Every structure is written in structure tokens, then in C-alpha cells.
Structure 1
Amino acid sequence: MFKTIGFLFFTLIFYSCEDNTRISSCFRNSIATVPLDLNNPQLNGVLTPTGSAKITGGMQGIILYNGATLGYKAFDRKCPKFDCNTPMSFDGQRLKCVCDDSEYSILTGEPLPQGTDACFAREYTVTRNGSSLRISN
């Protein structure tokens, strides 16, 4: 009797759970590690908070962003909806897919407006060691 009640309780709990996980990335690519030197003049834009630079790598290039207290952020310029062969643009505040006018947060990669079910922009890991940055999966 105890086993039956326990089984029914577990089954009820299991089936009452709802999957609310959002798709954080529709990309399944791996990239070669991109080493960067902050002393490189190409990266002068990222030395100041909210500064950015376009660099090679990823699928269609990478936007490197200085998120100040959030650290460095790196996003692929490939449109997450895969409906565009043109790299996303960056206006200093958000990434924008020029083919369908979809926009993404530079801080999280989340589609804007927030709460939509679209895929996030592809974010890479940025590791800093002194004046060196490393962008990887």
C-alpha cells in the first residue's frame, strides 16, 4: 500500500512538471580558440567600458564588447534565425540582424523584446589573463 501511494505521488509530481527552459543557443558549432592581445590597436575600442571591436573568427565574425563590471562579452555575428547571409550589425547597444530586423541584447544575447521564444545570439566564453584575451566555446 505504501509503495503504491509513493509511486502515485512520484508519478503525479513527475507529470506536473512543466519544461520552461528557453533555448539559449540554436548554434551547435565549435570554434577554434581566438587569442587576442589588448595592446593591439585593433582592440582600442574595447579598452573603455561599453566599447566594442569587430574581430575575425566564429561563423561570420565576432563582436567583442567591454561590459564594464560584467566583463568582456563575445557574440558571433551570424543571425540566430539562419535566414541571413549578412553578418549582424552592432549599434553600440544591441546586435541587429539586417535581413529580418531582429535584435539581440549585447549583455545576454537574448532576443529583443525580451521573452520571445527565438534563439539567443551565439555567445562565446572570454577569458582574460593580464593584457591577453582568449575567446573560446
Structure 2
Amino acid sequence: MKKYLFLFVLIIMVSCTDNTRLNSCFQNSISSFTIDLNNPELIGLLTPTGYSEINGGMQGIILYNGATLGFKAFDRKCPNFDCSVPMSFDGLRLKCSCDESEYSILTGQPLSEGKGNCFAREYTISENGSSLRISD
């Protein structure tokens, strides 16, 4: 009888797990806002693989035109919380200057070995004509 009870509890525990990958280790939330792509300050964002830096998030936001993947938005706050300086972007990856960690601009995935398992904080983008809505 104890074996069956143990098996039953084990099955319930396994069936209740969430296999969703956490986007990041950040628990912050932002107020949604909209930007206009016709703004001259965002001209770099109009070409595939182009990008712009905007205010918002915790330490600013990098907007990236992923061409066929659509627009991407990542917070410049270092995911390892060990840096007060915003991450930089070299056109290929986000870089944290304090611990030299690097993150993919396409997924936010850490590219550095042994620097933690947090992803860069990605925001959701909804495109509507020449406007982008950025939200959690």
C-alpha cells in the first residue's frame, strides 16, 4: 500500500511541474509604452540588424531589428545584478562590462560560460503599422 501511495504522490508531483523556460531572473514590470518608428532618433532601427537605444526599463532598452525574426527589446540591466553600469551592445551581443558576460541579441541567452544562468530581460513588442508597443 505504501508503494502505491508513494507512486501516486510522485506522479502528481511530476505532472505539476512547469516546463516553461524563464525569460530572465528579473521580477520587475514596466508600464507599456508606444514608440513611433518615424521618429528620426530611431532611424537605425529601420534596417535589418539595425538598433537603437531608448529610455525605459531599469537601465535603458536596446531595440533591435531582427529582420525576419521581428523587433526585439532587451533591458540594458546586467542579469547577474553585479553591475551598476548598463550593458553595451556591439551589433551582435549584449555585454556586461563588470563581469564580461555576454548575451544573445536574438534570445537573451547567456553566451559566457560560468557567469550564471539568467537570461537578459526581454520585453514583448507588438507592431502596429509604424508603431511599436513595448510591454512585459
Q: TM bucket by the smaller chain?
A: 0.7 to 0.9
Structure 1 stretch displaced more, 91-100 or 112-121: 112-121
Q: Does 1:111 align with 2:95?
A: no
Please list every run of at least 4 consecutive aligned residues from structure 1 whose deviation after the TM superposition is greater than 6 angstroms.
15-21
Question: How much has 1:113 moved relative to structure 2?
Answer: 3.7
Map 1:126-137 onto structure 2 (within 5 A). 126-137=125-136
Q: How many Å separate the matches in 2 of 1:36 and 1:16?
A: 43
Q: TM-score, normalised by structure 2?
A: 0.85
Q: Which runs of 5+ in 1 are unaligned?
A: none
SS at 2:82 equivalent: coil
SS at 1:84 equivalent: coil
Query: Which residue of structure 1 lines up, in the alignment, with residue 122 of structure 2?
Result: 123
Q: Does 1:10 align with 2:8?
A: yes
Q: What count of residue pairs does the alignment treat as equivalent?
A: 135
Query: Which residue of structure 2 lines up, in the alignment, with residue 47 of structure 1?
Result: 46
Aligned identity (percent) is 67
Structure 1 stretch displaced more, 115-124 or 126-135: 115-124
Amino acid at match of 2:31: A
Amino acid at match of 1:91: D
**Cα-Cα RMSD:** 2.7
Structure 1 stretch displaced more, 12-21 or 103-112: 12-21
Question: How much has 1:22 moved relative to structure 2?
Answer: 5.4
Map 1:64-79 onto structure 2 (within 5 A). 64-79=63-78
Amino acid at match of 1:84: C
> For the pair shown, which has the larger CA radius of gyration, 1 or 2?
1
Q: How many Å separate the matches in 1 of 2:18 and 2:131?
A: 40
Work out whether residues 78 and 96 of structure 2, in 8 Å CA contact, stay in contact via their aligned partners in 1: yes
Structure 1 residues 28-86: Cα deviation after superposition (integer angstroms, max 9, x where no partner): 11112121001001111111111100000000000000011111000000001111111
Q: TM-score, normalised by structure 1?
A: 0.85
Query: Which residue of structure 2 lines up, in the alignment, with residue 95 of structure 1?
Result: 94
SS at 1:43 equivalent: helix
Amino acid at match of 1:46: L
Q: Which runs of 5+ in 2 are unaligned?
A: none
